Amino acid sequence: MPAFPAFSDGTRSVHAGLPTPEVGEPFLPGPVFAAPYHLDPVTGPGVNGYARTEHPTRLALEKAIGALEGAPTLVFSSGQAAITALLLAVLRTGDTVAIPADGYFTVRAFADGFLADLGVKTLLVPTAGPYPDFAGVRLVLLETPANPGLDVCDVRALSAAAHAAGALVAVDNTTATPLGQNPLALGADLVVASGTKALTGHSDVLLGYVSTTDPALLTRVETWRKQTGAVPGAFDAWLAHRSIATLDLRLRQQTANAAAVAELLLARTDVTGVRWPGLPSDPSYAVASTQMRRIPGIVSFDLGSAERVGRFLSAAELVFAATSFGGVHTTADRRAQWGDDTSPGFLRFSCGIEDTADLLADITAALDASALP
């Protein structure tokens, strides 16, 4: 791994995880709907014995994601299932974990609740710093770009600091995707991500995964998955694998749209707090432009109030009000409605693959319509 290292992102995405060609067989075999399989009556289990522990459709998806992340991969029934498995497979009572203070809020809630009940201490660290001394920390979890504020941290520098202190490093790669950055190549020990978002991109699958080149860590996470059963179904795994083929194409248009939307928003006096790491004026630009291979199609900004957000989304024809992000349709989510620590008018804006001119015209009209008389 990675497979096809000499080829470009588009080629790698199309061919990732495909089986060896056989005459009369499809490029990507359909999902295998089975729980148990025939066993050898004498020797017992072969490659597939029971779908919770091994499954051909799931194994093909893991091979595909692993080819892009550059490491063996385990898939889960959701991104939260994946990150929970990672945390509980690595952490023990008395350990300390450092997690993003501005990352996905459910991870903080899990740390405040279940991890605290297990005697695990949590250190909240802003993605953009300042960073503490990691002495005594068992695991440092990074999320870059952070969701939803889009701050970026230097994975290579933080990994070196954490390793010097004896800590493991995991990076949530959900927003960037493996075509945006490869954290393992930057020094991280593990990658965790929600495949629900841009990786699969069609808003029709719940999926998560963990990748690592460390066999011992992979075994611990796999044992956790095996014993808790947090596996995706066959059809979800097949849908995800099918969708990865267009990842490069989708990201290309989403990034182009985000660049145009960010410039549009910056030029308006009735929009504040515009963030997109691809903007030269963005606080994260210096790190993002050197660390990331492409900037994701997510922009964040503030319209000042929940009421104006409502008027904006009601007026827009091409922007759907929806949570999650990274899909082919442009969506916007007022994060405060979910209890996230953001201002009432803050929006996480996920650019789809619509024509750029159409999207800009629709956003402009909706912003104008949402302004107070």
Question: Which pLDDT score is estimated for 325?
Answer: 97
- Per the CB < 8 A criterion, the answer to whether 57 and 98 are in contact is no
Question: Which pLDDT score is estimated for 2?
Answer: 43
Whether residue 32 has pLDDT greater than 90: yes
Whether residue 3 has pLDDT greater than 50: no
Same fold, 9-244 and 248-370: no
Q: Dump pLDDT digits (tens) for 223-246.
A: 999 999 999 999 999 999 999 999
Whether residue 17 has pLDDT greater than 80: yes
Whether residue 44 has pLDDT greater than 90: no
Whether residue 46 has pLDDT greater than 90: no
DSSP 128-178: TS-----TT-SEEEEESS-TTT-----HHHHHHHHHHTT-EEEEE-TTT-T
The secondary structure of residue 100, as a DSSP letter, is E
Instruction: Give CATH superfamily name and number for 248-370.
Output: Aspartate Aminotransferase, domain 1 (3.90.1150.10)
Question: Which pLDDT score is estimated for 5?
Answer: 60
Whether residue 41 has pLDDT greater than 50: yes
Domain at 9-244, CATH class: alpha beta
Residue type at position 221:
V
Give the pTM. 0.95
Where exactly are the structural domains of the chain?
9-244, 248-370
The span from the CA of 5 to the CA of 218, in Å, is: 23
Q: Dump pLDDT digits (tens) for 103-152.
A: 999 999 999 999 999 999 999 999 999 999 999 999 999 999 999 999 99
Q: Dump pLDDT digits (tens) for 280-307.
A: 999 999 999 999 999 999 999 999 999 9
Whether residue 213 has pLDDT greater than 70: yes
